[in-house]
Amino acid sequence: MNSILIESNESLKNALEKLQDNRRRFLISLNEGERVVGVLTDGDIRRALLSNLTLETKIKEIHNSQFQYLVLESSFDDVCTLFKSDKVDFLPIVDESMKLVNILTKKQFHIMLLENLEFDLKYDFTKFDNQTLEHEIYNRPWGFYKSTLLTSHAQAKIITVFPNSELSLQEHKKREEHWVIIKGRGKVVLGESVLNVYPGKYIYIPKGCKHQIINDTNENILFSEVQLGEYFGEDDIIRYSDKYGRV
């Protein structure tokens, strides 16, 4: 945490050096009593230099003293409300004397929700810093998906299949899947059966059952997928045929 702390009497030059080291794009400004008195971003420094301030300017002259913050007693609703603002990408968490006890970034908060962790503002959120934000979009030859839940016992995705595209014919040994068609029409291969699918259609795919969705129309198919099981790795995808040569 020290890499994002700076004393308010330090210079902009020191702030730039800290920002280069911490790669967070923000700093927490402390007074002599180590209490949080402001926040500073790389944008604040750029604006200060464009306003003809020098690298020797003190942090306290430009830091934002009207910053948003949390206390350990802040609720889940409090965090959601503050992060709805496009201007808030991080929130210091302070005690009753305004001393810093933790920091939560918007990305860390999203990962905490995605992994279904218990809400706890004392959690070590830095554990998430090297994780990819899995609700970003991931492209595949047949379309794209984004994850909405990633836990040890369940995963969920929203999947889009482009026109005249299809997933591979596959099965899984360690998980079952539940599909709900949201938009579009097509066909699902389920074991020895071929089903017509449409908005609202539900498909249960047990472990070990071959399955495939085929979009033979000129519109996207959008469906939700919930995986339940003990393991969700890519190496539990056993492909039998694939339009894109991935068998």
The pLDDT value given to residue 114 = 80
The pLDDT value given to residue 30 = 96
Whole-angstrom Cα distance, residue 143 to residue 186? 14
The pLDDT value given to residue 106 = 92
At 94, list the tokens: 């302070």
The pLDDT value given to residue 101 = 96
Closest-CA residue to 169 (of 237, 225, 121): 237
What DSSP letter does each residue of 172-205 carry, written as one string?
-SSEEEEEEEEE--EEEEETTEEEEE-TT-EEEE
**Per-residue pLDDT tens listing for the chain (247 residues):** 788 999 999 999 999 999 988 878 899 999 999 999 999 999 999 999 999 999 999 999 999 999 999 999 999 999 999 999 999 999 999 999 999 999 999 989 988 888 878 899 999 998 887 766 655 688 999 999 998 888 888 999 999 999 999 999 999 999 999 999 999 999 999 999 999 999 999 999 999 999 999 999 999 999 999 999 999 988 999 999 999 999 9
The pLDDT value given to residue 135 = 57
Evaluate the CA torsion angle 146, 84, 26, 69 in order and state its sign. negative
The four Cα atoms 131, 64, 86, 77 give a dihedral, to 10 degrees, of: 80
The pLDDT value given to residue 117 = 83
The pLDDT value given to residue 210 = 98
